[in-house]
Structure 1
Amino acid sequence: MYSFSNRMNEVSARAVREILKLTADPNVIAFSAGSPANEAFPIETIQEIMNEAMEKNGTKVLQYGITEGLDLLREAYLNHLAVPKGLSVSIDNIMTTTGATQGIHLACDVFLDPGDVVLVESPSFLSTLMLFKKYFVKCIPLEMDEDGIMIEDLEEKIRLHQPKMLYTIPTFQNPTGKTLPEERRKKIAELASENNVIVLEDDPYGDLRYRGEEISPIKKFDQSGHVILINSFSKIISPGLRVGAIVADEKILGKMTVSKQFADTHTTTLAQYVCAEFLNRNLLPEHLISIRQLYKERMETMLNWMEVYFPKGTNYTKPDGGLFIWAELPGECNTQELLKKAVADYQVAFVPGAPYYINPQDGRNFMRLNFSANTPEKIQEGMKRLSDLFSENHKF
């Protein structure tokens, strides 16, 4: 009998796999996945760019590329995304990745050893929590208030645990939708420098703001090179392209380049070309206006019907952007058990809160709801089905 590595024994993709299964049934109204709306994809524009690429640069986009990424895309990212966000960086600080997920993998590869301590928001993105298990590190949860990480708790945990890394999603956090204020971002950058802590700033949702003022990334306030910013084109253009970007110190990117060479040699050149042209043709601003309007309507629809249909005493976030609403049901309930009945009996799905916590018991009453992937009409019907689920299966 073959035996798997200890590394693989530490992880389970069950939670993610179950989420994907729930979204596969067309009869289920799924608030479970973090998918963009199908209507948001600029299909005709992407097709035009691809056709032009094949006609004019066919051999180039079909050939091997350099591991750091296509210069055309790195320059476009620098000019259209990094500099406008206040980052004082050059093309040498930018690397293309196969989705933002690979950026997180690369950071783990070059920094984490078994037994290292990583600080994480509580709750935090479940896939990254599982990834940390693969690296045999100890995750320490950080307390959050309505604005995200509490600095006092962060300072205390740094003092007690001497962490190697802090993982944070500071803008429209997954799963809560919370956004960290600028003053806390500045303080995190200062603490990272003072205590030699790597900050892994995961920012896939920052451009999906529907109200309020823009807030600069933590990376803007980084004076010592301790902050690694990870971006993605998945939520703003297409997840199927699998293109992301890292902004980091040159020495860090050098190590990541070596790690990426072992992983996939380079990110798909054609997909990189599509993203570069999308930026260089200045298509992103108008596209963002369009999808922000689409998602804002859906978010407000969900919030409005939650007010009508959810049990009294339910607490839920009211984010300024992103893709998620985080709800805490009143009383003693188990959302993992409710999910089974939701899908089987009511044909509606959400993500239970437990997988987002280091201690799953902390998430018993919570659920994550995605609003981007369904029409307002389906959102209303889905909220009604959840109301029926709650009223018939639990006393609040």
Structure 2
Amino acid sequence: MRIVVERGKNKAVYLQIYEQIRQQILSGELIPGHQLPPERKLAESLGVNRTTVLNAYRELKAEGLIGSQIGKGTLVLSYPNGELSDNPILEEPVWDHTFSQYSNHFDPNMLKELLAIANRKDIISFATGIASPESGPLQIFKGIEAELMSQDSYHALLHSPTEGFSSFREAVCQLMYKRGVYCHFEETMILSGSQQGIDLVARALLDPGDIVIVEEPSFFPAIQVFKGLGARVMGVPMDEKGMRLDVLEQILQRYKPKLIYTIPNYQNPSGLEMVLERRKGLFELSQQYKVFIMEDDAYGALSYEGKPLPLIKSMDNEGYVIYLSTFSKIVYPGLRLGWMVAHKKVIQKCSALKQVIDIHPNSLSQWIIERFIRTGDLDQHIIQICKEYKQKRDAMYQALLKYAPYDLKWNNPKGGYYIWCKLPEGVLASKLVLKAAEYKVAFVPGSTFFTSGEGESYIRLNFTFASIVEIEEGISRLCKAIKEIKDSGDSQENNKYTEIKPIV
């Protein structure tokens, strides 16, 4: 519906609105059942008072051209020949039967709500897996962008190859050399975030009914991707050393899965680091049973203690390991740049799939990050944020020691973004998330990360996003919420609070 208001015209504004809507109804441009905008919304869009729109609608109703229905708002009632219809023919689609089975596998609300929480100033958020916004190399990026633009060159704003610019892929190879993986740029592919890599690999490898193995718990968007493609997702429990290979081998023998998805470095959500023995054992099992490994390494560069362990990809010469990583966790999440290292045939297949999704990753971001890598500024930036994030991790750890009830348990991750907590017996994460919201603090309940719907006894806390001051205040509020649930009678545990040694 198009309406143009002329302020200097010798005709009242409400009459201008009335006449234009009337003409569009009588000409058939607005057909019976068309829903007109609410008065307030139309008034805001036209920059007029709501009463002005209300008066226009009253004129149209008096002429019998529009009417109101409960639950449907203001609707067009008249046909172009002037006959009235009290039963408008337009109805919303039957949404439950409209969308594909594939799309119905996804819950869009979790990630959307987490991102919305991160932008709320009144809530202390431990929910989002987002880098500290104050820690990004903003001034360096401004300088690189200004340099690119000052060259009067439009090349930085043109299309790139689907796999990314060759020079950027070569720079990524330099990063991989430092991580112990020696690859050619043709074995790399730039992604619009590493999560796109999960989707592309899943589409390239999986058919409905194929079995995918994940750690239990695991990264919930990956679980959604696998289930969305019709795969059967099976979880393997973890202990303090990582995925339990004894359970994994039983599944490999019985079910012949197509893919194993793992986050060996500072796992999301548990923060665990898979020990070297398990990494070797996992790779050997993949070779023995001819099953692909997707190694998701979003957090490997964020190591706060000791030396990083070898990547599983560094053990692979045959092409069974597909490696994913991202710049979102170490620079800015809005860059939406990640990368894949895999056998050339996997890269070729994923490139063909990517062409029908978004053609190629952001060109300007590629140029900026390539400069950031080649100047050595990325290495210095990682050193700096590791110092900062270690301080934040320690601040959260100490705050838990200070405020937590005696039967709340948690770990002390050597790197990454997250502390994984086990709630006191009888305190459910689904109840706690509501109570914590009353205290203006947010986290992610553990059930999100389990394939079986378990995890009500766990919560994930992010320590990178909030400030150190907010971390202590937020943990204090969270622990008050836990104690309130315990004291309310929802939990049968007695109210004795003493310090215990956190879980490993």
For this structure pair, what is the TM-score category when the shorter chain's length is used for normalisation?
Answer: over 0.9
Write the distance in 1 (CA, Å) between the matches of 2:385 and 2:119: 23
Distance 1:372 1:148 in 2: 23
What corresponds to 2:105 in structure 1?
A: 10
Match of 1:387 among 474, 479, 487: 479
Paired AA for residue 246 in structure 1: M
Could you say which residue in structure 2 is the equivalent of 1:33?
128
Aligned to 1:348: 441
Contact 1:107 1:256 in 2 (8 A): yes
* RMSD over aligned Cα atoms: 1.2
SS of residue paired to 1:330: coil
Please list the CA deviations of residues 298-334 of structure 1 after superposition, one character each: whole Å capped at 9, or x if unmatched: 0001011111211212221210000000000121221
Note if 1:53 corresponds to 2:145. no
**Runs of 4+ in structure 1 over 4 Å off:** none
State the match for 1:218 in structure 2: 312
The residue correspondences of 1:229-248 to structure 2 (distance < 5 A) are: 229-248=323-342
- Tell me, yes or no, if the aligned pair for 1:311 and 1:329 is still in contact at 8 Å: no
CA distance in 1, matches of 2:152, 2:445: 47
Matched position secondary structure for 1:274: helix
Residue 157 of structure 1 corresponds to which residue in structure 2?
251
> How far 1:57 sits from its partner (Å)?
6.5
Distance 2:170 2:182 in 1: 14
TM-score of the pair, normalised by structure 2: 0.76
Structure with greater contact order relative to length (CA < 8 Å, sep ≥ 6): 1
Q: Do structure 1's residue 99 and structure 2's residue 180 form an aligned pair?
A: no
Structure 2 Cα separation of the partners of residues 200 and 57 of structure 1 = 41
CA contact (8 A) 2:117 2:125 kept: yes
Aligned equivalents of 2:285, 2:349: Cα separation in 1: 24
Query: 5+ residue gaps in structure 2?
Result: 1-92, 494-504
Residue of structure 1 equivalent to 2:292: 198
TM-score (structure 1 length as normaliser): 0.97
The more displaced of 334-343 and 135-144 is 334-343
Determine if the alignment matches structure 1 residue 85 to structure 2 residue 191.
Answer: no
The 2-side partners of 1:238 and 1:274 are apart by 12
More helix per residue: 1 or 2? 1
Q: In the alignment, which residue of structure 1 is the partner of 2:411?
A: 317
Deviates more, 1:180-189 or 1:244-253: 180-189
Aligned-partner Cα distance in 2 for 1:388–1:121: 32
- Determine the C-alpha separation between the residues in 1 that align with 2:208 and 2:306: 41
Is residue 72 from structure 1 mapped to residue 72 from structure 2 by the alignment? no
Any residues of structure 2 matched to 1:298-377 within 5 Å, and which? 298-343=392-437, 345-360=438-453, 362-377=454-469
Give percent identity, aligned residues only: 34
Q: Is the 8 A contact 1:72 1:273 kept in 2?
A: no
Which has the larger displacement, 268-277 or 6-15? 6-15
Offset from partner CA, 1:346-381 (integer Å, 9 cap, x none): 111111111100112x21111000000111111111
Residue 20 of structure 1 and its aligned partner are, at CA, apart by 2.3
Distance in 2, Cα, partners of 1:386 & 1:39: 24
2:229 aligned with 1:135, yes or no?
yes
SS of equivalent residue, structure 1 residue 139: strand
Larger radius of gyration: 2
CA distance in 1, matches of 2:426, 2:325: 38
Displacement of 1:91 after TM fit? 1.1
Q: CA deviation at 1:24?
A: 2.9
For 1:291, what is the secondary structure of its paired residue? helix
Q: CA deviation at 1:56?
A: 2.5
**SS of 1:143's equivalent?**
strand
* Conserved 8 A contact 1:190-1:222: no
Range 172-181 or range 4-13, more displaced: 4-13
Distance, in Å, in 2 between the alignment partners of 1:108 and 1:56 is 41
What are the superposed Cα offsets for residues 97-116 of structure 1, whole Å, 9 maximum, x if unpaired?
Answer: 11101111110110011000
Report the AA paired with residue 83 of structure 1: Y
- Alignment partner of 1:140: what SS? strand
User: Unaligned 5+ residue runs, structure 1?
Assistant: none
Partner of 1:380: helix, strand, or coil? helix
Separation in structure 1 between the aligned mates of residue 242 and residue 407 of structure 2, nearest angstrom:
22
Q: Deviations over 1:367-396 (max 9, x none)?
A: 000000111111111111012111112244
The SS at the match of 1:58 is coil
1: CA distance, partners of 2:419 / 2:369: 29
* Separation of aligned partners in 2, 1:149 and 1:240: 31
The aligned residue for residue 71 of structure 2 is none
- Superposed CA deviations along residues 77-122 of structure 1, whole A, max 9, x for unmatched, are 111x111111121111111111101111110110011000000000
